[in-house]
Amino acid sequence: MSNKLQNQPADYEPPKIWTWDKENGGEWASINRPISGATHDKELPVGEHPLQLYSLGTPNGVKVTIMLEELLELDHAGAEYDAWKIDIGKGDQFGSGFVAINPNSKIPAMMDYSTKPVTPLFESGSMLFYLAEKFDAFLPAEHYKRAETMNWLMWQMGAGPFLGGGFGHYYAYAPFKMEYSIDRFTMETKRQLDVLNTHLQDHQYIAGNEYTIADIAIWPWYGGVMQGAYEATEFLSVNDYTHLARWVEMIAERDAVKRGRMVNRSRGSLDQQLHERHSAEDFDNNTQDKVEARGGKLL
């Protein structure tokens, strides 16, 4: 008897050329496609502020809304923004207006109408860097600290997909549990948590003693998993990462973080969901609990 492990399904052999003839299953299967480009014509709404954000309250989206709320907290009036909800489960990211900003069809995307020509922005790391440079905030000028901030910003952009697309996908979303994939990505996720934990043992913030765009990029993903994303806190033994936990709680206490994580959010308790954000008053008036109590009316 051969001791070769079985493929899944057992008779599966990869074909010579892969073709797209079926959905692959799992929570996000209906939006996965092997091609790029728009599927339908749809213009995007444009509000009154210089910055127009098209996003959703996922970790990648929340990076940008936290940054904008932090800038507003510092009284940068030019950071006022309209945030429009892009429902990726319904395929809004494949509308022609969205694809014109981001040919990669992923949230977040943004337009800066204060520049000539207007600036389209996509990739959350690029957007954080753009906003940091534009407002000269959360990116230290001093050479060593600036390099350190960029090291960790880029670390997040490279590492995050192993946590979300790897661990989160196979642990929480895949149509069945596969030991090989869960082991592979759990190993990598725990390694990353250990990298952060060890680093934060003797650093107050990610890039030293200052809060920067590196903290803003890393917190939504790694704070998320430490606080219950994928319902994996016990599985990952997150309580072992005490220095990381200290940092996660410290960042969570910031007012701008509390606001930023509510914007474009469509899961969890209704009083924490602000589907669209057009002014600071929306946090008081237009959270989803209040909107639904008014029969859907926005104030």
Ligand X SMILES: N[C@@H](CCC(=O)N[C@@H](CS)C(=O)NCC(=O)O)C(=O)O
Residues forming beta bridges with residue 60, ordered by sequence position: none
- Binder among 67, 107, 139, 248 for ligand X (CB under 6 A): 107
Near ligand X in 113-132, by CB under 6 A:
123-124
CB of 257: closest distance to ligand X in angstroms?
18
**155 Cβ contact list (under 8 Å, min separation 6):** 218
Pick from 161, 179, 158, 157: nearest CA to 170: 179
Nearer to ligand X (CB atom), residue 123 or residue 188: 123
User: Residue 288, interface with ligand X (CB under 6 A)?
Assistant: no
| Region of 44-52, 106-114, 145-153, 184-192 interacting with ligand X (CB under 6 A) | 106-114
- Binder among 47, 54, 58, 84 for ligand X (CB under 6 A): 58
| Region of 12-20, 104-112, 239-247, 288-296 interacting with ligand X (CB under 6 A) | 104-112
- Binder among 47, 49, 60, 174 for ligand X (CB under 6 A): 60
Nearer to ligand X (CB atom), residue 110 or residue 291: 110
3-state secondary structure the chain: CCCCCCCCCCCCCCCCCCCCCCCCCCCCHHHCCCCCCCCECCCCCCCCCCEEEEECCCHHHHHHHHHHHHHHHCCCHHHCEEEEECCHHHCHHHEHHHHHHCCCCCCCEEEECCCCCCEEEECHHHHHHHHHHHHCCCCCCCHHHHHHHHHHHHHHHHHHHHHHHHHHHHHHHCCCCCHHHHHHHHHHHHHHHHHHHHHHHCCCECCECCCCHHHHHHHHHHHHHHCCHHHCCCCCCHHHCHHHHHHHHHHHCCHHHHHHCCECCCCCCHHHCECCECCCCHHHHCCHHHHHHCCCCCC
User: Residue 195, interface with ligand X (CB under 6 A)?
Assistant: no
User: Residue 264, interface with ligand X (CB under 6 A)?
Assistant: no
Q: Residues touching ligand X: how many (CB under 6 A)?
A: 11
185, 166 contact by CB (below 8 A): yes
Pairing state between β 109-112 and 51-55: antiparallel
CA 266 to chain centroid: 13
Nearer to ligand X (CB atom), residue 130 or residue 246: 130
| Region of 67-75, 99-107, 243-251, 284-292 interacting with ligand X (CB under 6 A) | 99-107
CB of 63: closest distance to ligand X in angstroms?
7
Nearer to ligand X (CB atom), residue 265 or residue 291: 265
User: Residue 106, interface with ligand X (CB under 6 A)?
Assistant: yes
User: Residue 93, interface with ligand X (CB under 6 A)?
Assistant: yes
Nearer to ligand X (CB atom), residue 42 or residue 246: 42
Nearer to ligand X (CB atom), residue 90 or residue 191: 90
- Binder among 53, 88, 110, 291 for ligand X (CB under 6 A): 88
Could you give the string, one character per residue 22-51, with x where binding to ligand X holds by CB under 6 A and - elsewhere?
A: ---------x--------------------
Nearer to ligand X (CB atom), residue 93 or residue 212: 93
Residues forming the site for ligand X (CB under 6 A): 31, 58, 60, 88, 93, 105-108, 123-124
